[in-house]
Amino acid sequence: MEITIDQIKALREESGVGILDCRTALEQSDGDFEKALEALREKGFAKAEKRAEREASEGIVEVYSHGKGRIGVLVELNCETDFVSKTDKFKEFAHEIALQVTAAGAEFVSEEDIDEEILAAIREEALVMVKEEGKPEKIWENIIEGKIKKFKDEKVLLNQKYIRNDELTIRDMLNNTIAAMGEKLVIRRIARFELGELSAVEEQEAE
């Protein structure tokens, strides 16, 4: 099957991967766009795994202000070299992450960043709920785990659906960008501030 330039362009825009890799993926999948896209995502993940032990100490802090200063977001994105940190693609990715944090309100970069006390509180609240609602005890654990998963999917950046394409998670985007740029990338830290919003510490003090 002949692979057209339009197919390659479409796959490149979706995956962020180079033209040659896109052509190869389409050829190997007999022109099936979805299969080619999935293959590139898996390849991106594999490349990300290989680079996991490398040091990423360069990068930028992206600063984004929204709603005439009502919301402010900081994102620290790291890479391996100063050269990559200055490229448009790297800066664009950092900006997209800042937009994601602004719109979707992530509080943690990864699940490992969540304090165990927070998860314990969610578990306790869910346990009280299932008891009050009279749910059968045999399904309590499934409901509780479902509540915890929902919290993680909503509050963990890497778990969130990308605001421009809900078929991609931010983890998918990160892996695709790593594959395209050929370097280890790390979303190191995020912070989101909204005018008049109390921090977790301030909320505790107010109680």
Does residue 6 sit in helix, strand or coil? helix
* 46: Cα within 13 Å, side-chain hemisphere: 6
Mean pLDDT calculated for residue range 134-148: 92
Tokens 């609602």 belong to residue: 133
Whether the predicted pLDDT of 198 surpasses 60 = no
Q: 121-133, pLDDT tens digit by residue?
A: 999 999 999 999 8
At 76, is the pLDDT very low, low, confident or very high (cuts 50, 70, 90)? very high
**Helix H or strand E segment including 136:** none
Amino acid identity, position 153: D
Asked if 147 and 120 touch (Cβ cutoff 8 Å), the reply is no
For 53-66, how does the pLDDT look when each residue is reduced to its tens digit (9 = 90+)? Answer: 566 779 999 999 99
Task: Give per-residue pLDDT as tens, 9-25.
Answer: 888 777 666 788 888 88
**Whether 114 contacts 106, CB under 8 Å:** no
Local confidence band at 204 (pLDDT 50, 70, 90 cut-offs) = very low
Residues 29-43: pLDDT tens digits? 988 888 888 887 777
Which has the higher per-residue pLDDT, 95 or 205?
A: 95
- Does position 93 have pLDDT exceeding 90, yes or no? yes
Which whole number is the average pLDDT over 106-135? 93
Q: Can you give the pTM of this predicted structure? A: 0.69
Weakest mean pLDDT among 53-62, 71-80, 181-190: 53-62
